[in-house]
C-alpha cells in the first residue's frame, strides 16, 4: 500500500448513540455509498485522516520516481529508456492528481511539500530500498506497482469524491506500469543464465519489501476500524496482502522464478497461499528512517525543492509583472 | 518563504465532440503555464482536443446544504419528461 499505518482519530468507531445528528447523517451517506464532496459537512477526524492518507499516497508517488529515475540514463535500449521515462512521468502525474485531491480538504500544496521535506509526513517504506541493477526495474514494476494496484483498485470506491476520482484515473494508467515491469522480467528470465540469475536476485530482494507495502496486520487497529467505517479504507491490510500473494505466485511460476519463501504453500481450505510474513522489525526500522535509502531520498527531494526555488519565484515574478503591465495598459 | 503559485481548475474537451469536462487542478504562475502544465498532467494519453484553465478563486459554487430546496422545483414536474404522456401506438413514431 502506498499509504501505510495512517493514523485516524485513535478513538475507535462511535456507536450511533454517541454520534451527533450531523455525524449520524454523514455516516448514513457513507453507508449508502453516496460520495462526500469537499464542501459537504464532514467530521474533523475524517478530514484529517484523509489529508494524512492522500498526502502520504501523493508523497509516495513523488519519492517513488527516484529509484526508477536512477535507471533512465542506463536503460539497455532506447525503447526501454522511452518507456521508463513515460512511467516515471506518470508517477509525477499521479502525485499531482493526489495532491490536488488533498488540497480540496483545505491543506495547501506547500504545506504538504514541507511536511514531506521535514520528515513529518511519511511515504511508502518500499522506496527506501535501492535499485541496484536493471532487473530491479522489472521487479519494481511487476511487484511494487502490482502491490500498489492491489491497494488502489478498491480505493476507486472510497467515500471521498476527489480521492475516488484520482484513484480511477491512476488505476487506468497504472496497469501499463505493472506490465512493463513484467515484460522486463520475462525478457530477463528467458535470457542467458546470468540474466536469469539477475531476475531471481531482484525477486529475492523485492519480495518481502513488497509484502510490507500493505502495512502490518491491522485487524485489531482502532485507526483502521475507523477508516473502514468511513470507507477511506476498503479492505484490511491482510486481505490485500493475501490477494497480492495469490495473484503473484502463478506469475512467478510462469517466469520460472522462485518466490523466496520456504513456507509458501497452497492452502485448499482457505483457497489461497500460506506464506511467511516479512520481518516487521525491519519494516518499523525503515519507517523510523533507518532504511538503506531514507537519507538519500529526502536529501534528493530537498535538493530539488531548494534548487527549484529561483524558478518558482522567477516565473511568479514574471507573471505578476505581465499582469501589472496589462492592468496599466487598460 | 516563497509564495505559492495560484491554483487553476482544468477543463478538457475529449475526442468525441463533448463539452469541456473538469478533470482536476494544478498550480501554475499564469494561464499560459497552466495550459502547458495541464497538457503534461492531464493529456498524456491523448485525452484532449482542447484545454480550458480557470483560476480556482474565480469559481463560485452552489452550497451543498441547499441541495434540497435548490432542486425541489424540478422534482415535482414529471410532465417535463416525454414518457409522462401516453400516445397511442397508432400515431406512429413521435
Q: Determine whether the interchain pair B26/A323 forms a contact, defined as Cβ–Cβ distance below 8 Å.
A: no
Count of alpha carbons within 13 angstroms of residue A76, beta-carbon side: 10
Task: Please check whether residue A110 touches B, CB under 8 A.
Answer: yes
In whole angstroms, give the CA distance from residue A154 to residue B5: 33
Burial class of residue A296 (count of CB atoms within 10 Å of its CB; 0-12, 13-18, 19+):
middle
In chain A, the residue whose alpha carbon lies closest to the alpha carbon of B40 is A93
Distances (CA, A) of B73 to A176, B60, B66, B67: 47, 22, 13, 11
- Pairs of residues, one from chain A and one from chain B, whose beta carbons lie less than 8 Å apart: 55
Domain ranges, ordered by start, for chain B: 1-60
Chain B window 67-86: which residues touch A at a Cβ cutoff of 8 Å?
Answer: none
Residue-by-residue DSSP string for A150-171: HHHHHHTT-SBHHHHHHHHHHH
Grid coordinates representing A43 are: 467530521
Q: Which residues of A touch B4 (CB under 8 A)?
A: 108-110
In chain A, the residue whose alpha carbon lies closest to the alpha carbon of B62 is A39
Q: What are the pLDDT digits (tens) for A14-42? A: 898 999 999 999 999 999 999 999 999 99
Higher pLDDT, B76 or A216: A216
pTM of the predicted protein model: 0.93
Give the pLDDT band (50/70/90) at residue B51. Answer: very high
Global ipTM: 0.88
Q: What is the mean pLDDT of residues B32-54?
A: 94
pLDDT score of B63: 82
pLDDT exceeds 50 at position B1: no
Q: What are the pLDDT digits (tens) for A103-125? A: 999 999 999 999 999 999 999 99
CATH 3.30.450.40 given to domain B1-60: no
pLDDT exceeds 60 at position B71: yes
Q: What are the pLDDT digits (tens) for B57-68? A: 999 988 877 778
Collapse the DSSP code of A126 into the 3-class scheme (helix H, G, I; strand E, B; otherwise coil) and give the result. Answer: helix
Q: What is the mean pLDDT of residues B13-40?
A: 94
Residues A264, A274 contacting (CB under 8 angstroms):
yes
Q: Determine whether the interchain pair B26/A312 forms a contact, defined as Cβ–Cβ distance below 8 Å.
A: no
| CB nearest B61 (choices: A39, A312, A323) | A39
End-to-end CA distance of chain A, in Å?
A: 53
Q: What are the pLDDT digits (tens) for A238-268? A: 999 999 999 999 999 999 999 999 999 999 9
pLDDT tens for chain A, 330 residues: list them: 477 878 887 777 889 899 999 999 999 999 999 999 999 999 999 999 999 999 999 999 999 999 999 899 999 999 999 999 999 999 999 999 999 999 999 999 999 999 999 999 999 999 999 999 999 999 999 999 999 999 999 999 999 999 999 999 999 999 899 999 999 999 999 999 999 999 999 999 999 999 999 999 988 788 889 999 999 999 999 999 999 999 999 999 999 999 999 999 999 999 999 999 999 999 999 999 999 999 999 999 999 999 999 999 999 999 999 999 998 988
pLDDT score of B2: 66
Residues A234, A159 contacting (CB under 8 angstroms):
no
In chain B, the residue whose alpha carbon lies closest to the alpha carbon of A113 is B4
Share of chain B above pLDDT 90, in %: 68
| CB nearest B44 (choices: A89, A100, A103) | A89
Amino acid at each position: 500500500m502506498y499509504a501505510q499505518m495512517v493514523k485516524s482519530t485513535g478513538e475507535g468507531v462511535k456507536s450511533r448513540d454517541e454520534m451527533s445528528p450531523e455525524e449520524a447523517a454523514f455516516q448514513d451517506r457513507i453507508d449508502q455509498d453516496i460520495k462526500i464532496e469537499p464542501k459537504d459537512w464532514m467530521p474533523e477526524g475524517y478530514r484529517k485522516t484523509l489529508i494524512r492518507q492522500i498526502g502520504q499516497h501523493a508523497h509516495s508517488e513523488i519519492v517513488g520516481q527516484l529509484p526508477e529515475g536512477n535507471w533512465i540514463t542506463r536503460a539497455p535500449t532506447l525503447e526501454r529508456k522511452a518507456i521508463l521515462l513515460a512511467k516515471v512521468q506518470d508517477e509525477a502525474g499521479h502525485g499531482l492528481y493526489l495532491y490536488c485531491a488533498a488540497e480540496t480538504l483545505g491543506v495547501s500544496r506547500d504545506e504538504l511539500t514541507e511536511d514531506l521535506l521535514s520528515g513529518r509526513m511519511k511515504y511508502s517504506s518500499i522506496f527506501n530500498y535501492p535499485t541496484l541493477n536493471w532487473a530491479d526495474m522489472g521487479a519494481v514494476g511487476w511487484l511494487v506497482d502490482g502491490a500498489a494496484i492491489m491497494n488502489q483498485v478498491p480505493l476507486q470506491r472510497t467515500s471521498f469524491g476527489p480521492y475516488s476520482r484520482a484513484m480511477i484515473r491512476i488505476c487506468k494508467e497504472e496497469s501499463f506500469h505493472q506490465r512493463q515491469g513484467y515484460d522486463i522480467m520475462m525478457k530477463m528470465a528467458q535470457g542467458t543464465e546470468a540474466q536469469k540469475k539477475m531476475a531471481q536476485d531482484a525477486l529475492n530482494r523485492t519480495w518481502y519489501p513488497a509484502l510490507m507495502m500493505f502495512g502490518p496486520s491491522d485487524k485489531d487497529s482502532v485507526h483502521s476500524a475507523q477508516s473502514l467505517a468511513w470507507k477511506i479504507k476498503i479492505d484490511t491490510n491482510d486481505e490485500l496482502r493475501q490477494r497480492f500473494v495469490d495473484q503473484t505466485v502463478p506469475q512467478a511460476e510462469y517466469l520460472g522464478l522462485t518466490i523466496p519463501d520456504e513456507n509458501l504453500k497452497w492452502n485448499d481450505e482457505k483457497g489461497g497461499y500460506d506464506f511467511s510474513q516479512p520481518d516487521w522489525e525491519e519494516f518499523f526500522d525503515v519507517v523510523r528512517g533507518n532504511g538503506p535509502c531514507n537519507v538519500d531520498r529526502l536529501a534528493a527531494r530537498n535538493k530539488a525543492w531548494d534548487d527549484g526555488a529561483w524558478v518558482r519565484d522567477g516565473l511568479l515574478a514574471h507573471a505578476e509583472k505581465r499582469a501589472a503591465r496589462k492592468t496599466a495598459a487598460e | 518563504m516563497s509564495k505559492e503559485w495560484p491554483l487553476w481548475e482544468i477543463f478538457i474537451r475529449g475526442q468525441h465532440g463533448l463539452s469541456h469536462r473538469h478533470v482536476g487542478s494544478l498550480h501554475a504562475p499564469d494561464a499560459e503555464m497552466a495550459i502547458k502544465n495541464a497538457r503534461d498532467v492531464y493529456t498524456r494519453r491523448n485525452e484532449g482536443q482542447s484545454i480550458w484553465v480557470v483560476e480556482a478563486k474565480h469559481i463560485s459554487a452552489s452550497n451543498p446544504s441547499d441541495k434540497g430546496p435548490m432542486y425541489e422545483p424540478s422534482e415535482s414536474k414529471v410532465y417535463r419528461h416525454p414518457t409522462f404522456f401516453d400516445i397511442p401506438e397508432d400515431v406512429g413514431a413521435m
